[in-house]
Structure formats: C-alpha cells, structure tokens
Amino acid sequence: MLDWNDLRFFLAVARTGSTLAASRKLRVSQATVSRRISALEEALGITLFLRSPSGYALSVRGEAILPGAEAVERAIDALASSVEAEQRRLSGKVRLTTVESAANIWLMPAIAAFRTQFPAVIAEVFVDDRVLDLSKGEADIAIRFGVQPDDENLVIRRIVELHESVYARQDLVDMHGIPQSLADLARYPMIGLSGVGLGPISRWQDSLGPDVHVVHRANTLSAIISAVQAGMGAAVMPCLLGNAHRGLVRLFPPIPELTTPGWLVTTASARQQPHVRAMLDFIADFVRDSISRTEQRYSVANAA
C-alpha cells in the first residue's frame, strides 16, 4: 500500500534534483530521503530516478507517475485546507459539568488541547457533586459515574471503567507492611468519607468489620488524597489518581466490587450542535488515551 509520505519525498526529489536539497526542504536527514525513495521504488517495483554524481533525474517510469503524485498532493492540500477552514468556523460556548477529580484529571487538559484546534469554542465548566439537569439546559455535557443515567432525554456514552484500590504513603507501608488480605488493613489507620452511607466505597469500608480503625474523614476526594499524602492513613481512591501520585503505594490490585463506570452524557439537541459534538468526541478520545497511558506507565513502573 502506498504511503503519502513516500510520495512527498518523491515529489521533493523530483523538484529539487537531489536528496540533499530535498532533505533541506523537508527538514529531515539526507539518509532519510534516500531510504524513503528506495522504499517507494521497492513498493512499486520500478526505478523512479536515475542516480548520477550530478544528482537524481526522473526515469521514464518516474515521469509517468509524476502527474498522479501531484494530483494526490493537490487533493491532500485541499483536504487540509478544508479541515482548517472547518476548525476556524467552529465556534460557540459549551457548558460542562462533573465532579472535581474528573474536572482536574480530564476536563481541564482535554479542553486545553481541544482549544488548540478549535480556538473559537469557549468552555464553561461547573465543578459540582450535584447532578445538574441537562434536560433543563443547566449544562450541555456531563461526565458522571456510577449507575447509568436512565433519563430517556439523554444521550449516553460509556467511556471508562474507573478502578479503585487502597493507597498509602510509602513510609506508612514501610511501618505496617504490605497487607496480604483485606483483614490486614486493621494494621493501618484509615481515612474515610465524612457522613454515613455515602455510596459503595463507604459500604465496602464498613464491610471490613469493626477492627478497621478510621482516624480521619473528609467529604471530597481531593481532601482524602491530601490526607493520604500527609501520611494520616490509607484510603480508597481511583487507581488513575493513586497511580499518578509519587510516594503513594497501591496496597491491593483493583477491587472488583468498587469498579465504577463513567458516562459521557448530553442531550440530543445539544449533540446536534457541531461545536458540542466535536467536544464530546474529543473528550471521549482524551479520556480513553489518558487511561491507557496511565495504565501503561504503572505497568512499566511495576516491572522495573
């Protein structure tokens, strides 16, 4: 299969008459140009250039394919111009909502990357644990976690399986040792969510039994992470966050019963707007890529 990049090298050499001049034009090494020309000739099964001390001259076969290569170049240039025009044209405001952790991990960096391509699209982010009503226009896009929203007016896309585990600071692990079972968490001071009955994490922690000693509680994930980083105790947190914090140790593999699905949510009317749809797709890809990179880094770190 032909590679457009090889045709770029072919056209550069055809127009300049040498691999050295082509390398300067393309800002690559001369060896790279020579290698790509040889690869193209091998792929096509023909000789494109006649080599001589004075440079490269098109062969009869090279002359024959030159118009086609130039036509491909024009088509790609036209496509690039069309995409750039679309990016310049895309504009409007998108209102997004999610919890603090997802806003910090995904939304802010995703929006920053999105705006390098679509600078006329303005994002307005509502960081809130409350579920804003998209059907009533309180936001255009939401990232939500837990049970799948059942509002028939919403357009819902599953974008993540958020794994959770227990993390502690390295010196606390050195003091108490890596637990071999959940029962061993009784050796650790624990940090929990403030209040009672606050979802599956609280229920799971309560199920560990009375020997688990909760020494501190907080009502936000960021406060819990700060407490763990301060060495106050161990706590449940998303692996995506725990793995990324230097100095924290994951005490167990991801805990299956705490796996939480994440949903990208909008309405049909919002999704029909080009700038909202573009941001939806961008965020979905960004989240998946972010998780993949984090998991790969953690695997490499464990293997090292």
Which tens digit of pLDDT belongs to each residue from 70-86?
A: 998 888 888 877 766 66
pLDDT of res. 296:
63
**Cα atoms in the 13 Å half-sphere on the side-chain side of 291:** 14
Say whether pLDDT at 6 is over 80.
yes
The tokens of 51 are what?
Answer: 């080599």
Angle CA(33)–CA(39)–CA(40) in degrees, nearest 5? Answer: 90
Q: Which of 77-86, 96-105, 131-140, 195-204 has the lowest mean pLDDT?
A: 195-204
Here the tokens at position 155 are 């357009």
Kindly report, residue by residue over 18-43, the tens digit of the pLDDT. Answer: 999 999 999 999 999 999 999 899 88
- How confident is the model over 98-124, as a mean pLDDT? 90
Amino acid code (one letter) for 160: V
Q: What is the mean pLDDT of the chain?
A: 87
pLDDT, residue 297, reads 59
Confidence bin at 300 (pLDDT 50/70/90):
very low
pLDDT tens profile 202-255 = 888 888 888 888 899 888 888 899 999 999 999 999 888 888 788 899 999 999
Q: Which amino acid is at 97?
A: T
> How many angstroms separate the Cα of 99 from the Cα of each of 126, 151, 304?
9, 19, 34
**Tell me: the pLDDT tens digits for 154-200?**
999 998 888 899 999 999 999 999 999 988 899 999 998 876 445 78
Q: pTM to 2 decimals?
A: 0.62
pLDDT at 303: 45
Task: Please give the domain boundaries of the chain with CATH numbers for all domains.
Answer: 4-88 (1.10.10.10), 90-162+260-303 (3.40.190.10), 164-258 (3.40.190.10)
**3-class SS at 193?**
strand
Q: Rounded distance, CA 28 to CA 16, Å?
A: 15
Separation CA 14–CA 56 (nearest Å): 8
Say if strands 121-127 and 92-98 run parallel, antiparallel, or are unpaired: parallel
